[in-house]
Structures are given as C-alpha cells and as structure tokens.
Amino acid sequence: MATNKTRLRFDSVDLKSSGGQLCRAELQFTFGGEQIESAAIDSEAGLGPLRAAAAATLIAIHQAVSNRFTCRLEDLDRVNALGKELIAVLIKVDFDGREFQLFGSCQIGPDESSAAVKATLNATNRFVDLAMRF
C-alpha cells in the first residue's frame, strides 16, 4: 500500500512539566519524508496537557502546508460515545476566505495525549489534502 504524502504521520509526543503549573507538549511528525517538530504549552491541570498536544499538532499542520490555511483549537473534551471513551476536538479553520468548523475524535488508548493528537489529525486531514492541491 502506498503512503499518502499529503498527510502528516504522527511519530511521537512527549509531555514535559515545567515544575510549575504549565505543561509543554513536544511532538514529532513526518510529512513528505521530512521531519516536523512542534511544541505548545498549556496548563498542567485538567485537560491542559491534551490541549497542548492538540495545539502543537495544529502548529505542525501550519508548517506542513506552508500556512495555506490557518486553524485553531476551539474545544477539546473527553467524551463517552457508544460505550467508548474518546477525545473529541472542535477545530476552526480559515481557508480561502471562508471559515469552517471541523470535528475530530479518537478512542483513548493507553496514552491520552496521543489520542488528542490523532483526534486533531482526524479533524484536519481533509483540509491538508485540499490545501496541498493548490
């Protein structure tokens, strides 16, 4: 099966505590054979580490598509749907002068931060594909 060169491949996430009240998510992706690294900071409490992972994913997306569109995290939450625990994200995208809201989700496995990254990619992959066509 051929790999899709217009999609980010998620390689790793590393959450680091600042020793205070902040958490830094450091991510690595591969896009078209190139390494992309990104990071974001959020609160160490509650959903903060998951929001940091999602925000770092959006930074990597911006890098990959050379800012052909912009997006930001509107909301992130843990949800239970059909008896499964999920991370759900709502992403606002500005593309070609129009705004869109995208929803993505990923079932939570052993690593919640990876699920936050994958939910964000789930929401944005179609726009990455579209942006790379222009």
Q: What is the pLDDT of residues 1-53, one digit of tens each?
A: 344 556 788 999 999 987 779 999 999 999 888 999 999 999 999 999 999 99
The CATH class given to the 9-133 domain equals alpha beta
Could you state, in order of their start, the residue ranges of all structural domains in the chain? 9-133
pTM of the model: 0.91
Q: What CA–CA distance (Å, rounded) separates 92 from 15?
A: 24
Asked if residues 92 and 70 have their Cβ atoms less than 8 Å apart, the reply is no
- pLDDT > 70: percent of the chain: 95
In angstroms, the Cα distances linking 29 to 52, 64, 118 are: 15, 10, 12
Query: Residue 134: pLDDT band by 50, 70, 90 thresholds?
Result: low
The model's pLDDT over 96-128, given as tens digits with 9 standing for 90+, comes to 889 999 999 999 999 999 999 999 999 998 888
Count of beta carbons in the 10 Å neighbourhood of residue 71:
23
